[in-house]
């Protein structure tokens, strides 16, 4: 497991995994919403949402049934859910994704499997409060047109 804690080279920089805060090991099955402010590595089963403000690494043995939100991510395992990555997403050759992907940039190794929509965007999705404010603004603009 030593190699998982080293810098992972990617186009345009490195994803840091030197300071992994949370490891969900291969014998662990976790159900529910998982939130972190640090780097997370998953080798086991996670049924539910995974959110972190830092980096995520999904190992080959991992099974994720839920959405993933992170700053950067490397995925080698199975994910059945939507993925939102603010910066860079790397799909390794063993990755199997069923769900929509939104990321700042994406690298896909030959052999990776994807079934869903893929969007590259320059900005992170707005916070829920921003969405409500924007929706109210749109409603006001629409009302003015009538």
* Contact (Cβ atoms closer than 8 angstroms) between residue 66 and residue 51: no
Closest CA to 87 of 121, 51, 40, 36: 121
Main-chain dihedrals φ then ψ at residue 84, nearest 5 degrees: -125, 115
Most distant CA pair in the chain, distance: 63
Mean pLDDT, residues 2-15 taken together: 43
Closest CA to 80 of 93, 67, 89, 69: 67
pTM listed for this prediction: 0.74
In this predicted model, what pLDDT tens digit does every residue of 50-108 receive, in sequence order?
Answer: 999 999 999 999 999 999 999 999 999 999 999 999 999 999 999 999 999 999 999 99
């Amino acid at each position: 497991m030593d190699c998982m804690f080293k810098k992972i080279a990617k186009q345009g920089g490195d994803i840091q995994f030197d300071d992994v805060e949370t490891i969900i090991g291969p014998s662990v099955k976790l159900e529910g919403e998982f939130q972190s402010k640090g780097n997370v590595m998953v080798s086991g089963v996670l049924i539910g949402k995974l959110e972190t403000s830092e980096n995520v690494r999904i190992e080959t043995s991992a099974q994720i049934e839920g959405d993933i939100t992170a700053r950067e991510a490397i995925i080698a395992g199975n994910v059945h859910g939507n993925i939102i990555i603010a910066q860079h997403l790397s799909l390794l050759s063993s990755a199997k994704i069923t769900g929509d992907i939104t990321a700042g940039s994406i690298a896909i190794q030959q052999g990776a499997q994807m079934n869903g929509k893929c969007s590259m965007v320059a900005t992170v999705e707005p916070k829920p409060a921003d969405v409500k404010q924007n929706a109210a603004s749109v409603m006001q603009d629409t009302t003015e047109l009538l």
